[in-house]
Amino acid sequence: MRNILILLVVLCAISCSTVRVNYDFDKSVDFTNYSTYNYYPEMETGLSDLDSKRLFNAIDSTMQLRGILLSEEPDFYINIQSKSFITPNNSTVGVGIGGTSGNVGGGVSLGVPLGGSNLERELIFDLVDSQKDALFWQAISLSNFNENSSPSTREKKLYEIVAKVFSKYPPVIKKAKKK
């Protein structure tokens, strides 16, 4: 019983700290044409000024490691939007009664929450071709968020999000097999 409890606590901790990301991109785009970037002019990230600065630093570091340079005349712009929301608590109570052939049975199901509701943040990263003004790549990340966390914890979380988001940029486009 103790091992099961430990396993549940570990699984809960792991699932709470993960960053989930969904990707989408235009398959007709040649991603080798994009070697410079900048941020969308007058972008409203929905984050505090300090968190926006942390996020931009994380992106700049990641792009530099990938050989993509910040430029005044970029090949593409990065647009970022965010929203925070509270995920509902999923505890439920159910009562059931049933029977067959004169036997009667019953049961009670009770869900006990392990903590309250979670605050989650969705960050949307749009990469827009600067010449065509067309979206060519998008990543939507979803992760837990604690608005009372320390500045260093916030920075670490934003670096984690950016690393996960840009881990699949540029995308690997698989060619269809010929039959």
pLDDT truncated to tens, each residue of the chain (179 aa)?
Answer: 555 545 444 444 444 458 999 999 999 999 999 999 999 988 999 999 999 999 999 999 999 999 999 999 999 999 999 998 887 665 555 555 555 566 666 555 555 555 555 889 999 999 999 999 999 999 999 999 888 899 999 999 999 999 999 999 999 877 666 66
Residue 21, beta-bridge partner list: 141
Question: Please, what is the Cα angle at 22 between 176 and 31, to 5 degrees?
Answer: 50
Query: Parallel, antiparallel, or unpaired: how do β-strands 69-70 and 36-39 relate?
Result: parallel
Residue 119's DSSP bridge partners are: 86
Q: What is the pTM of this model?
A: 0.74
Q: Is 102 left (phi over 0), alpha (psi -120 to 50) or beta?
A: left
